[in-house]
């Protein structure tokens, strides 16, 4: 089958199309004919080795995590799905890739595709939806009336997280460029800072939580807008020792990640704020709950651009520019 692969880690990962064997099913897996694959910033970070100590691939490896498609075969222990079912899933952190004609998907990672969504729309959802869900509901435990700061509101994560926070009854603050102010207001943002004209840390106050989505010193600056007892959940690092222990990494990596997060943890403690790094996990049950929100159209996918399969590498290059308003998706079938 045809797949987008990388052959080595580093500055020249040799990303391109390869002919690879169709996946061999394990008893608890579905063979899915992929109709569309969503791409995420981490898909550009993996080949250069950013997460090499944490994410394990057998090279050459297929790129991508998000997919939507049709089940064509099931393993002997699968009970919730049958051939012909339309599903969507995230394969992140499973050593598998989605930018391919077929993918083996663990039953535990899959959910039925919401019928109102086409395959392209469904493929845009899994990683950003699961990340938002696990950050806002599990880690932050966001409640009605609380205030959460979600910077980069017009990006892939931002567009979904703003809508989910709004559905949870929270007040949402975000940052965008001038042209996207009304766009994120329509998603449910309440306090909107034009980062080209203003500094959010000088305008926002009294927040209960921050979802860290922007690299640089944005997380440190966000401490100024938080109340004591608040939480920061970062998606972009620094990684911490708690994450290393949860992943059962070795002592050396646990020590290194502890050093990497030492500064932000120290600053957070001084402010009475809890800091944690989040590495999203596949979860079919959570995707099924998210699908219910999508069915009722209380949350909608936001797609910036769709690329044909033969331009999959160009899709990653476009995403790397950092200008996408919502998600970038590759249409495979």
Here the CATH number for the domain that contains residue 66 is 3.90.180.10
Sign of CA dihedral 40, 67, 188, 212: negative
Q: Looking at the structure, do residues 213 and 249 belong to the same domain, yes or no?
A: yes
Q: Is there a contact between 185 and 178 (Cβ–Cβ < 8 Å)? A: no
pLDDT of residue 242: 87
Distance CA 308, CA 190 (A): 36
* pLDDT band of 246, cuts 50, 70, 90: confident
pLDDT given at position 214: 86
In a domain, 288, yes or no: no
**Mean pLDDT of the residues in the chain:** 94
DSSP reduced 3-state for 278: coil
Reported confidence tier of residue 21, pLDDT bands at 50, 70, 90 = very high
Q: Note the pLDDT of residue 37.
A: 98
pLDDT in tens, 104-138: 999 999 999 999 999 999 999 999 999 999 999 99
**How far lies 292's CA from each of 109, 129, 219, in Å?**
16, 12, 32
Residue 323 neighbours by CB distance under 10 Å: 12
Question: Quick one: 156 and 202 in the same domain?
Answer: yes
Contact 89, 284 (CB under 8 A): yes
pLDDT-derived band of residue 32, with 50, 70 and 90 as boundaries? very high
| More confident call, 268 vs 216 | 268
Look at residue 296 and tell me if it is in a domain. no
Same domain, 136 and 254: yes
- CATH code of residue 220: 3.40.50.720
Q: How far is CA 301 from CA 157, 241, 328, in A?
A: 11, 34, 11
The residue-averaged pLDDT of 38-67 equals: 91
Cα–Cα distance measured from residue 69 to residue 181, given in angstroms and rounded to the nearest whole number:
34
- The pLDDT of residue 56 is 82
pLDDT of residue 175: 96
Please report the pLDDT score of residue 317 as a whole number: 96
Burial code (b: 16+ CB inside 10 Å, e: under 16) for 24-34 equals: ebeeebbbbbb
Q: Check residue 249 and give its pLDDT.
A: 83
- Angle subtended at Cα 149 by Cα 143 and Cα 155, rounded to the nearest 5 degrees: 115
Return the percentage of the chain with pLDDT > 90, whole number.
84
| Choice between 241 and 109, residue whose per-residue pLDDT is larger | 109
The total number of structural domains in the chain stands at 2
Instruction: Clarify whether residues 159 and 268 are in a common domain.
Output: yes
Domain that holds residue 45: 2-125+302-331
What is the pLDDT at residue 274? Answer: 95
Torsion angle (degrees, nearest 10) of CA 34, 35, 38, 42: 20
Are both 32 and 106 inside the same structural domain?
yes
The confidence band for 319, taking pLDDT boundaries of 50, 70 and 90, is: very high
Same domain assignment for residues 240 and 204: yes
pLDDT of residue 263: 92
Whether 292 maps to a domain, the answer reads: no
- The answer to whether residues 309 and 271 belong to one domain is no
Residue 17 and residue 136 share a domain:
no
Strands 66-74 and 29-39: antiparallel
The pLDDT of residue 198: 93
> What's the pLDDT at 316?
97
pLDDT band at 53 (very low <50, low <70, confident <90, very high): confident
Give SS3 for 229: strand
Burial of 308 (0-12, 13-18, 19+ CB in 10 A): exposed
What is the reported pTM?
0.94
Better-scored residue on pLDDT, 128 or 245:
128
Task: Give Cα separations from 320 to 73, 92, 126 (angstroms).
Answer: 35, 19, 19
Do 266 and 324 sit in the same domain of this protein?
Answer: no
- 287 domain residue, yes or no: no
Same domain? 240 vs 315: no
Query: What was the pLDDT predicted at 252?
Result: 85
Report whether 290 contacts 127 (CB < 8 A).
no
Please name the residues in contact with 188: beta carbons below 8 A apart, sequence gap of 6 or more. 162, 163, 165, 166, 167, 172
């Amino acid at each position: 089958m045809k797949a987008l692969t990388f052959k080595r880690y580093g500055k020249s990962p040799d990303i391109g199309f390869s002919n690879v064997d169709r996946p061999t099913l394990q008893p608890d897996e579905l063979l899915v004919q992929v109709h569309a694959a969503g791409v995420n910033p981490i898909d550009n970070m993996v080949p250069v080795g950013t997460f090499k100590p944490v994410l394990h691939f057998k090279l050459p490896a297929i790129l991508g995590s998000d997919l939507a498609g049709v089940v064509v075969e099931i393993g002997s222990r699968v009970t919730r799905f049958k051939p012909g079912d339309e599903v969507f899933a995230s394969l992140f952190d499973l050593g598998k890739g989605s930018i391919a004609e077929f993918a083996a998907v663990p039953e535990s990672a899959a959910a039925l595709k919401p019928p109102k969504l086409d395959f392209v729309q469904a493929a845009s959802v899994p990683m950003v939806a699961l990340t938002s869900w696990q950050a806002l509901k599990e880690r932050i435990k966001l409640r009605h009336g609380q205030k959460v700061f979600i910077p980069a509101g017009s990006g892939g994560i931002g567009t979904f997280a703003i809508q989910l926070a709004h559905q949870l009854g929270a007040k949402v603050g975000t940052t965008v460029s001038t042209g996207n102010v009304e766009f994120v207001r329509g998603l449910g943002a309440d306090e909107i800072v034009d980062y080209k004209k203003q500094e959010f840390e000088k305008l926002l106050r009294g927040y209960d939580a921050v979802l860290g989505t922007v690299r640089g010193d944005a997380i440190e600056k966000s401490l100024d807008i938080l109340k004591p007892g608040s939480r920061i959940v970062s998606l972009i690092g620094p990684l911490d020792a708690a994450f290393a222990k949860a992943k059962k990494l070795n002592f050396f990596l646990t020590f290194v990640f502890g050093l990497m997060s030492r500064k932000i943890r120290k600053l957070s403690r001084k402010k009475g704020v809890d800091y944690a790094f989040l590495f999203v996990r596949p979860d079919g049950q959570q995707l099924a709950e998210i699908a219910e929100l999508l069915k009722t159209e209380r949350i909608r996918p936001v797609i910036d651009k769709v690329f044909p399969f033969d331009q999959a590498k160009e899709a990653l290059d476009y995403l790397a520019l950092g200008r996408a308003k919502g998600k970038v998706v590759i249409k495979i079938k």
